Structures are given as structure tokens and as C-alpha cells.
Amino acid sequence: MGDMWGRIDDIHEDLVALYQDLHAHPELSFAEHRTAAEVARRLDALGLEVTSGVGGTGVVGVLRNGAGPTVLLRADFDALPVAERTGLPYASTARGTGPDGDDVPVMHACGHDMHVTCLLGALDLLTGSRERWSGTVVAVFQPAEEIGAGARAMLDDGLLERFPKPDVCLGQHVFPFPAGSVAWVSGPSMSAADGIKITLHGRGGHGSQPQSSVDPVVMAAATVLRLQTVVSREVAPLDTAVVTVGSVKAGTKDNIIPDQAEIRVNIRSFTEPVRTQVIEAVHRIVRAEAAASGADREPDFEPLVDFPVLVNDPAATDRTVAALRARLGDEQVRETPPLMGSEDVGLFGTAADVPTVYWMFGGADPELYAKAKAAGTLNRDVQSNHSPFFAPVIEPTLTTGITAMTTAALEWLDGA
């Protein structure tokens, strides 16, 4: 397969330019119009059957190459409301409209630009080596992963009915460990995530007359502190859960007690019983703190995100990992503990009732990573996804991502 892998060198310069262009022009969830148009243009140039507007802004490319298995390859392409601080020459200065209508900065702070570039590179390799495999590749470029809505939107728009039904679903994500390496988890690998917007209702008034008011700021403060006891006091020590209050909003002026306060809570879990237990505890505590404050009205709860647990099929994962090890080397492919991050890619495999295999590939400068690990400063010196400083080193990240995705696809397609 030497000639096929040598193709990476031929397309490398073009893909680097694409990656830098995508990084400089990020778009928020369900607003990825420029990105989708560029993906569709490139899929068409590769000769795939292209369908745009699937699930809003999603793009699907179908590559048919005779009889054989159907393999779904997935890349997500939305960005985040983060102000980039990498200082890179291709750093984003883009702005967009957030879900609340606010003007926000936009950045590819999670690496989805790298995911798109790697999948397009893999499709180039696959289209140029049709004599080596047979079957069908369904390339899914998914919107709105960051809000946990894109996979469901594509499925609701008939993904499995309009396009060849897959026998396996494959995907990958760039993470802040040494570039050139790949990590995998078998079984439950990424947590469920539930986001809740909670509105606490008080009774506003003048700051000098608290006795005439029900202060929602104090109510919110008490609630935030009490929520910290859910994991520490209610979840069994051997179970895993996280409760984070990521946003608190209330008031406009120092001498005005407002009418309401808003908090946004994020809940992570790996099993349905723990998930249910934590969500119920959050609701109970919020209502109790409102009652303790003398609120005239019950709090309002609005769901924001709903990610299922991502489960890598053990047998399919073993098969895929064996292929990755054969191509990349045993020392570059390692098992890693489950991650508390969340992903909606598993919905495709669940809906199709086929295995899902989702792995991570490194994006951190290997030398910087080694120095930080030796110094015990990984958390400080190696920036994680969603950080304003997060940006994978282009190489060997790009080549590894293309190689991993192509290798995994070939493992599941029929060989010549």
C-alpha cells in the first residue's frame, strides 16, 4: 500500500491550507454554511455523490465501490463561542450570534476543523485506491455536535433512509496528548451530559429594603453551594458523576434587587441510574432552596443539551485497534480511561443498530508534552479542548488523523 500512503504527501500542502482556512473561519452550531459549502465542493471534486442540507447544515458524501460492507465515517464541523488567544497567524477573529441572540466571538476551540480536514484527506486516499477495497463509504459531516443536536437532526432528516445503511460507524477526535499517537476506550467511553437552564424567581425591590423583597441572588448563591453536595454526599464513591454550575446571571445594578436569577447546570454521568439520581437531586435542591427563600413561584427548568453515553462496541473496537496498531505501531496506540467529555456520534450506531468505534488522536506538540509531563505541569502547559489557547500542531496531527481514519475504514471494507 506504499503508493496509497504516499498520496498524503501529494495532498498535504492543500490540506494544510484548508485546515488553516477552516480554523480562521469558524461557525457556530447550525450556522456552518461556509464550512458546509467548502466540504460539499471538495466531495464533489473527489467524485462522491453529495447531498447538502441534511439535518440543517449537514453534508453527506457517498462513495460506492462495488459490493461489500457499508462504513459510515463521521466528522463534526461546528465551532464554539470562545475568543481565540493562540496568537497563530491563522487565528480566528470571527464573531457570530449565540443561541440567546448575543454577539459572541467564535473559535475552533475543539478541533473540529482538524476532524473535517482529516476525513477529507482519508476520502482522497480511498477514492484513489478503489482497486484495494470494495463496499460503500458514507461520509457524514455533522453540524451542531457542541450542542448535542446535530446527529439527532441528521437522523430525523432521514439519514438512514436516504443513504446506504451502515454496518459500522467510525469517528475520531483530536485531544491534547502527544501528536502522532492514538488512544482508545472499549465499552462506555464518554459520559452522558445533561444541561439545564434554571430560572429562580424572586421579588424585586430597592437594595435598601431587602425585607420587602425575595432576593434571587442570595437564592442562587445558596443553590450553587448546595449543588456541590450532590456528588460528594449523594453519589456513591465508586460511581462517577460531575455537577458543574457554568453560568450565573442576575441583576443590572448594585442597588436593585432583581426579580430573577438564572443558573446553568451541567451534569455528567456514565450510567442511567446515576444520571437519574443526580438530575432528581438537582431538581430537589433547587426547589428546596427556592422554598427556603420564600419564593412566591416555583423555579423553571429548561433542558439545554442531552448527550447519551458513548459506548464503543468491544469486539468492533478490538478489530479496529488491531488495524491501527499494525499501521501506526504498538507504541503509538494506547488504551486510555473513559473520558468525562461527551459526544453525540453514538446516536448514529444506536439508530442503525450497528457497532460504533470512536477513538482519539493526539494534537499536542510531543516535545512540549514530554517536558510538561516530566515537570508535572500538564494541566497548565498543555492546553485542553475548549481553551482559548487550544490549537493542535498541524504535524504530525494531520497525517496521523488521515492515516487512522483511512486504516479503520479499510479494515471494515472488503479487501481486494
Q: Catalytic: which of 27, 76, 145, 313?
A: 145
Instruction: With CA atoms as reference, report the closest residue to 140 among 412, 329, 344.
Output: 344
- Threshold 0.85, pTM exceeds: yes
pLDDT digits (tens, 9 = 90+) for 129-162: 999 999 999 999 999 999 999 999 999 999 999 9
- Match 482538524 to its residue by C-alpha cell: 114
Instruction: With CA atoms as reference, report the closest residue to 223 among 322, 295, 331, 135.
Output: 295
> Using CA atoms, how far apart are residues 138 and 144, in angstroms rounded to an integer?
19
Angle between helices 394-412 and 112-127 (to 10 degrees): 50
Residue 270: the pLDDT is 95
Residue 1: the pLDDT is 45
Q: What is the number of helices (H) and of strands (E) in the chain? A: 13, 19
pLDDT digits (tens, 9 = 90+) for 310-343: 999 999 999 999 999 999 999 999 999 999 999 9
Q: Provide the edge-to-edge strand list for the sheet that holds 192-201.
A: 241-250, 260-269, 192-201, 300-307
Instruction: With CA atoms as reference, report the closest residue to 124 among 414, 415, 398, 412.
Output: 398
Residue 407 in grid coordinates: 486504516
Q: What is the CA radius of gyration of the chain?
A: 23
Q: Catalytic: which of 78, 113, 215, 313?
A: 78
Ordered domains of the chain (ranges, CATH): 2-190+309-415 (3.40.630.10), 192-307 (3.30.70.360)
> Using CA atoms, how far apart are residues 265 and 337, in angstroms rounded to an integer?
25
- For 130-230, strand residue ranges (E) read 133-142, 168-178, 182-184, 187-190, 192-201, 205-206
**Strands 333-335, 182-184: pairing kind:** parallel
- For 146-236, strand residue ranges (E) read 168-178, 182-184, 187-190, 192-201, 205-206
Amino acid at 387: S
> Using CA atoms, how far apart are residues 139 and 406, in angstroms rounded to an integer?
12
Examine the residue annotation and report whether 239 is marked as an active-site residue of this protein. Answer: no
Residue-averaged pLDDT of the chain: 97
Examine the residue annotation and report whether 395 is marked as an active-site residue of this protein. Answer: no
Burial class (CB in 10 A: 0-12, 13-18, 19+), 119: buried
Residue 99: the pLDDT is 84
- Match 503508493 to its residue by C-alpha cell: 3
> Using CA atoms, how far apart are residues 332 and 397, in angstroms rounded to an integer?
12
Residue 61 in grid coordinates: 458524501
Residues of the chain with pLDDT under 70: 1-2, 416
> Using CA atoms, how far apart are residues 403 and 398, in angstroms rounded to an integer?
9
* CB distance 78 to 145 below 8 Å: yes
Q: How crowded is residue 44: how many other Cβ atoms within 10 Å of its Cβ?
A: 13
pLDDT digits (tens, 9 = 90+) for 250-267: 999 999 999 999 999 999
Phi then psi for 33, rounded to 5 degrees?
Answer: -70, -45
> Using CA atoms, how far apart are residues 408 and 413, in angstroms rounded to an integer?
9
